[in-house]
Structure 1
Amino acid sequence: MRCLRINYDNIQMEEPYDINKFINCLLLLREPSCTLADVELHCTLHDGGEYVDFWIRHALLCQAQMLCIYIICSEDCYVFDGPPLVSRHLRRLKLRNVEFVVNFLDFSSCSQLEDLRIENCCIGSSRILSQSVKHLVIDDCLFEDDEKTQLISVPNLISLQFIECRGRTPLFESMMSLETAVVRLNGYNDSWFWLSEECEEDICVKGHAGECCGTCAVCCGYGDHGDRCVLLEGLSSATSLELVAASRLLIFRRDLRWCPTFSKLKTLLLSEWCVQVDLRGLVCMLEHSPVLENLTLTFRKQGKTTRTLEVEGNSSLMEKPAAISGYLKIIKVECEEIDVRVCKVLKFLSILDMEIIIKRTSR
Structure 2
Amino acid sequence: MPKRLRSKGNKKAAVSGGEDRLSALPEDVILLLLSFLTSRQAVQMSVLGPRWRALWKSLPSLRFDMGLDHTSHSFHFIESLIRYRDPTTPLFECEILSSDRFSQDVDMCLRYAVSRKVRDLRIKIYSLRYFQLSAGTFFSKHLTRLFLRKVWLDDFYLHVSSCNSLEELEIKRCDINIGDVGTHFPKSLRLLRIRNTNIDPIVTRSFISAPGLVTLELAVGYECALCLKSMPSLVTAFIKIGHKSGFSYCEACEFDDGVLLKGLSGATNLELIRVRSMVFRKEIKCYPTFSKLKTLLLSDWCMASNFTGLVYFLQHSPILERFTLQLGRYCEKTQMHEVYPKEQFMVSKHLKAIEITYFQKDVRVDQIVNFLAYHGVHPKLINIERKPYDDCFSFKRKE
2:194 is the alignment partner of 1:138: yes
CA contact (8 A) 1:277 1:310 kept: no
CA contact (8 A) 1:243 1:271 kept: yes
1:133-159 residue CA offsets vs partner (Å, 9 max, x unmatched): 101111121223444333221110111
2:174 is the alignment partner of 1:118: no
Judging changes above 3 Å, is the alpha-carbon distance between structure 1 residues 49 and 12 closer, same or farther for their aligned structure 2 residues? closer
Q: Pick from 301, 308, 317: which aligns with 2:335? A: 308
CA distance in 2, matches of 1:38, 1:225: 44
1:72-128 residue CA offsets vs partner (Å, 9 max, x unmatched): 111x21223453743222111100001234345211111111011111111223244
Q: Pick from 130, 134, 149: which aligns with 1:96? A: 149
Q: Pick from 198, 209, 219: which aligns with 1:163? A: 219
Could you tell me which runs of 5 or more consecutive residues in structure 2 were left unpaired when the two chains were aligned.
Answer: 1-58, 392-399
CA distance in 1, matches of 2:347, 2:89: 59
- Report how far residue 289 of structure 1 moved: 0.5
> Counterpart of 1:131 in structure 2: which amino acid?
K
Q: Pick from 340, 344, 354: which aligns with 1:320? A: 344
- Report how far residue 347 of structure 1 moved: 1.8
**Structure 1 segment 13-32 matched on structure 2, within 5 A:** 13=71, 15=72, 18-27=73-82, 30-32=85-87
Q: 2:123 aligns to what?
A: 69
1:196-221 residue CA offsets vs partner (Å, 9 max, x unmatched): xxx3465xxxxxxxxxxxxxxx5x54
CA distance in 2, matches of 1:39, 1:12: 17
Q: Pick from 237, 257, 263: which aligns with 2:291? A: 263
Q: Pick from 138, 149, 153: which aligns with 2:209? A: 153
CA contact (8 A) 2:132 2:154 kept: yes
The structure with more radius of gyration: 2
2:238 is the alignment partner of 1:182: yes
The alignment yields a C-alpha RMSD, in angstroms, of 2.5
Q: 1:213 aligns to what?
A: none
Name whichever structure is richer in helix by fraction: 2
Q: Report how many aligned residue pairs link the two structures.
A: 325
Question: Kindly, what percent of the aligned residue pairs are identical?
Answer: 31
> Counterpart of 1:231 in structure 2: which amino acid?
L
1:22-69 residue CA offsets vs partner (Å, 9 max, x unmatched): 3244335545443311100001111x2255445323311101010000
Q: Which has the higher contact order (CA 8 A, sep 6+)?
A: 1
Q: 1:299 aligns to what?
A: 327
Judging changes above 3 Å, is the alpha-carbon distance between structure 1 residues 288 and 54 closer, same or farther for their aligned structure 2 residues? farther
Could you tell me which runs of 5 or more consecutive residues in structure 1 were left unpaired when the two chains were aligned.
Answer: 187-192, 194-198, 203-217
Q: TM-score, normalised by structure 2?
A: 0.74
- Report how far residue 340 of structure 1 moved: 3.2
**Structure 1 segment 331-350 matched on structure 2, within 5 A:** 331-350=354-373
CA contact (8 A) 2:202 2:224 kept: no
> Relative to structure 2, which stretch is displaced further, 269-278 or 333-342?
333-342
> Relative to structure 2, which stretch is displaced further, 129-138 or 331-340?
331-340
2:64 is the alignment partner of 1:6: yes
Describe the SS at the equivalent of 1:80. Answer: strand
Q: 2:386 aligns to what?
A: 360
